Amino acid sequence: MVDNREVVNEAELKELLRAKALASGFDVAGFAAALPPPRAEALTPWLQTGAHGGMAWLAREPEKREDPRRLMEGVATVLVLGVNSRPEATAGAQPAAGCGTIAVHARRPDYHVVLQKRLKGLRVWLEHHLGRPVPCRLCVDTAPLLEKPLGVAAGLGWQGKNALLVSPRMGCWLLLAEILLPFALPPDRPLPDRCGRCRRCLQACPTDALAEPYRLQARRCLAYLTIEWDGPLAPADRLAMGSRLYGCDDCLVVCPWNRFAVPNGDADWQPRVQWLAPSLLQCGSLDEQAFRTLTQQMPMRRMGLVRWLRNVAVALGNWGAPQALPVLRQLLHHDAPLVRGHAAWGIGRILAQPNGKECGSAPLLWLQEQRQRESEPMVQEEIAAALQTVAGALR
């Protein structure tokens, strides 16, 4: 362990670090002892129930997540940093017909890159200030840390009933980053839970993923299903998705503590215009190259084209407009079975609408012809279900 007492006392170094962090573009900075944070003991039971869904990496070496001392030899303090990501526009506003919905954090270039750059700048300052290298670890979401509980331990807020960190100044809009430090700096005082009797986030969840307060069932969450899950979506989840293409902010935007957050005018946090209300017809017409070009430096790049088109097919079906049918026909012939299956569902959903007869007989023939040539059992089942749905609606 590096002994910083030869250079500066702990309390002074702590406040110098906090001041520099705030000057470097972070909105909050708190310090926690490198110990298991609040509710760390709940991780293993949560994993044992399978609540993490297909995110297998969460179950790898959970003891590392529970105790930051297992991540870096000699770590004594965790500096937890946050940036206010509240957008100018209302995040929960319904998009115009024919437009998709993107989670607020993904409407701008990947925040991991921005925060990592700021962390590196803070480390450079620290080493220059002390006049020697400092062994530390920089973390932005990807390290096996319980970052929200660490934020609680560092006095940045409390973990709300929606399982997010709630700041008394910025509501649920904080994006977090951490630096593991070898200095035993005085920890900040945790704040009490101030959710009270409020249940707005629980009531707002479209899929009941927050049936139990403070305990998210990730496998039921639309953020997980639209981003992480790479398989077919359950019919009920498709309906709940509405126009969502990437993520869900419903349990975030309803938190009453958000009223204290001021929109962030920092240039790094301004959204790209094309992601505020992307056209579903354009989104469904992308090939691999167009998708990679459009999502350059954006979080959506990570999900890949197949998952993206799966989500678009669902959103087009939920839109229900006849204008969506040509794009869905194109997706019905896609190379990926996952896309073809959801396109069949989307076509069936549109044809089953009260005005479905106005679409003519051609879309029904598309489904019937594809059923004859389809070799994938999963897609065959999707087409059969779509045809049955349409038949039931026409009776």
Same domain, 160 and 17: yes
- Phi/psi for 72 (5° steps) reads -150, 125
What is the C-alpha separation between 393 and 356, in angstroms, rounded?
9
What is the C-alpha separation between 87 and 263, in angstroms, rounded?
5
Q: Which of 166, 181, 196 is the last residue of a domain?
A: 181
Residue type, 354: P
Is residue 64 situated within a structural domain? yes
- Counting residues of the chain whose pLDDT is more than 90, the rounded percentage is 76
Same domain, 157 and 25: yes
Is residue 220 situated within a structural domain? no
Same domain, 177 and 291: no
Is residue 136 situated within a structural domain? yes
Is residue 370 situated within a structural domain? yes
Is residue 72 situated within a structural domain? yes
Is residue 210 situated within a structural domain? no
Is residue 253 situated within a structural domain? no
Same domain, 173 and 310: no
What is the C-alpha separation between 255 and 91, in angstroms, rounded?
12
Q: Which of 165, 181, 197 is the last residue of a domain?
A: 181
Q: What range does the domain containing 283 cover?
A: 279-394
Same domain, 309 and 162: no
Residue 246: the pLDDT is: 97
Write the pLDDT tens digit of every residue in 86-137: 987 655 567 889 999 999 999 998 888 899 999 999 999 999 999 999 999 9
Q: Which of 131, 152, 181 is the last residue of a domain?
A: 181
3-state helix, strand, coil split of the chain in percent (to 5) is: 50, 10, 40
* DSSP H/E element including 390: helix 377-394
Write the pLDDT tens digit of every residue in 231-250: 999 999 999 999 999 999 99
Same domain, 292 and 174: no
Same domain, 146 and 40: yes
Write the pLDDT tens digit of every residue in 355-389: 888 888 899 999 999 999 999 999 999 999 999 99
Residue 5: the pLDDT is: 40
Same domain, 40 and 166: yes
Same domain, 66 and 174: yes
User: What's the structural domain count of the chain?
Assistant: 2
- Counting residues of the chain whose pLDDT is more than 70, the rounded percentage is 93
State yes or no: pLDDT of 308 exceeds 90: yes
Lowest-pLDDT choice from 7-16, 202-211, 227-236: 7-16
Same domain, 36 and 163: yes
Same domain, 163 and 298: no
Is residue 284 situated within a structural domain? yes
What is the C-alpha separation between 52 and 73, in angstroms, rounded?
28
Neighbours of 367 (CB within 10 A): 22
Buried b (16+ CB within 10 A) or exposed e, 182-221: bbbbebbebbeeebeebeebbebbbbebbeeeebbbbbbb
What is the C-alpha separation between 144 and 63, in angstroms, rounded?
9
Picking from 213, 236, 25, 249, the residue whose alpha carbon sits closest to that of residue 116 is 25
Residue 56: the pLDDT is: 66
Residue 47: the pLDDT is: 63
Q: Which residues are catalytic?
A: 141
